[in-house]
């Protein structure tokens, strides 16, 4: 069965510090996708990144970077030089197909990040 674990429920950092959000997943599929979403106080989930199971190359987008390691089933998210606007709940998610061929997405419980000015 699919499972996504975000062990850090809440993190507080001071502005300009780097912070890493952990995500560990479980799946029996060899083909799957991993995602990160940001949920600011307004509530709407914003898609940040998708990674497929065959692409372990790390990705950097501005102050954001993602580290995907299949050997440890982890897909961690690092924010460099954090800013107050980064304060949000961040969700890691896993997508694969169920026995009926339908996409099934499992979300972690989220990590609430507070960046203190």
Partner 1 sequence: SQTIHQWPATLVQPVGSPLSLECTVEGTSNPNLYWYRQAAGRGLQLLFYSVGIGQISSEVPQNLSASRPQDRQFILSSKKLLLSDSGFYLCAWADGTLLYEQYFGPGTRLTVT
**In the complex, which residues of this chain contact partner 1 (CB under 8 A)?**
33, 35, 37, 42-47, 50, 91, 95, 97, 102-103, 105, 107-110
Judged by beta carbon, residue 14 or residue 105, the one nearer partner 1 is 105
Q: How far is the CB of 33 from partner 1 (least distance, A)?
A: 6
Looking at the Cβ atoms of 37 and 86, the one nearer to partner 1 is 37
Closer residue to partner 1, CB minimum distance, 33 or 80: 33
Residue 36 CA to residue 45 CA, distance in Å, equals 10
> Which residue(s) pair with 69 in the sheet?
74
Residues found in the chain:
117
Within 8 A by CB and 6+ apart from 2, the residues are 25, 26, 27, 94, 96, 104, 106
């Amino acid at each position: 069965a699919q499972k996504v674990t975000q062990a850090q429920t809440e993190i507080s950092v001071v502005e300009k510090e780097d912070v890493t959000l952990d995500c560990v997943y479980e799946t029996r599929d060899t083909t799957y996708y991993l995602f990160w979403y940001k949920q600011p106080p307004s509530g709407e989930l914003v898609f940040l990144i998708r990674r497929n199971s065959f692409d372990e190359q790390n990705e950097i987008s501005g102050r954001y970077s993602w580290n995907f390691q299949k050997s440890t089933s982890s897909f961690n998210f690092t924010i460099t030089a954090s800013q107050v606007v980064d304060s949000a709940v961040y969700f890691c998610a896993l997508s694969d197909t169920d026995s009926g061929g339908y996409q099934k997405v499992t979300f972690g419980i989220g990590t609430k990040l507070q960046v203190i000015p």
